[in-house]
Structures are given as C-alpha cells and as structure tokens.
Amino acid sequence: MTARGTADLERSRTHHPWAREGATTVVRADDRRERWWTFAGLVANADLAARLGATDFDSLQIRLPAPVTGLDPRGVVAASEKPVTLWDRLAADLKFAECLPTGLRRQAASRRMTDDAAVSDVIAEPLDTVQTQA
C-alpha cells in the first residue's frame, strides 16, 4: 500500500473506531439520527438505500429514514424488492436512451447499478449497534 493509502486508512480508523472487519454498524446519535455504515461501495449502497427508502447515502454509509429507525436494516432489505422507479430514473439518463426500447433501457440501468454480491454480503454480515453523541 502507498504511504498516502496507509495514511488515509489510519485516518479512517481514527474517525470510525467502532468499525470492525466482517461486520456492518448502525450508529445512533443522541438526536435520533441513524447511519448504517456498510462500507459496501456506492453501487451496493444505492441499491440498499432504494430498498430502505433512503435518499442520503454514499459509498460508506446510508442515513436510515424514519420508518426504519430502530429496526434491523438487514431484515428490511431482505424483505423488500428493488424499486422499479430507481431503474426508470437511471434509464432515462442513459446516453442515447431515446434510441432504446423501455425494457432494454431498464435492463441496462439495472446492470450498471447492481452489485448483488455486495448486497448479499452486507445482509449476511453481523450488525453492530453503537450509540454516540450528536
């Protein structure tokens, strides 16, 4: 690993002391905000967020929406389907989208924004819960 990569990793470990390999963590702040730290990547977190009804996510975490607060997000995801509206929105933004039939646009968008292996790994990993101050 490069010196820069090593420094970034150490900085990340300092900011996320509760993180452990092979597990995801829901961090609950005193102000009732909950973030699910999956470290699964942007594509996997986009899929997970869509199934949870969340709109605030990045490659590391998902801010859990109010209906999911206090629940095990893995169970919510496992019991849900991928929302078709996500693929419709992405399909409309594909280059030359107007040249493709609707079904093919959805299929292309779905393939580009799907990481089923990472989603399965996240659901299968143990879930830690940590309470922090806001």
Separation CA 112–CA 34 (nearest Å): 28
* Predicted confidence (pLDDT) at residue 88 exceeds the cutoff of 70: no
- In the chain, DSSP assigns E strands to 24-29, 34-37, 61-63, 127-132
Neighbours of 50 (CB within 10 A): 23
Query: What predicted TM-score, i.e. pTM, was given to this entire model?
Result: 0.77
49-63: pLDDT as tens digits: 988 988 899 999 999
Q: What are phi and psi of 56, to 5 degrees?
A: -110, 105
Residue percentage of the chain with pLDDT more than 90: 31
* Mean pLDDT over each residue of the chain, to the nearest integer: 83
pLDDT at 71: 83
Residue 84: is its pLDDT beyond 90?
no
Residue 130: its pLDDT value, please?
92
Confidence of residue 95 (pLDDT cuts 50, 70, 90): low
User: pLDDT by residue (tens digit) across 26-53?
Assistant: 999 877 789 999 999 988 998 899 889 8
Residue ranges of the domains in the chain?
21-132
Which of the pair, 117 or 98, is modelled with greater confidence?
117
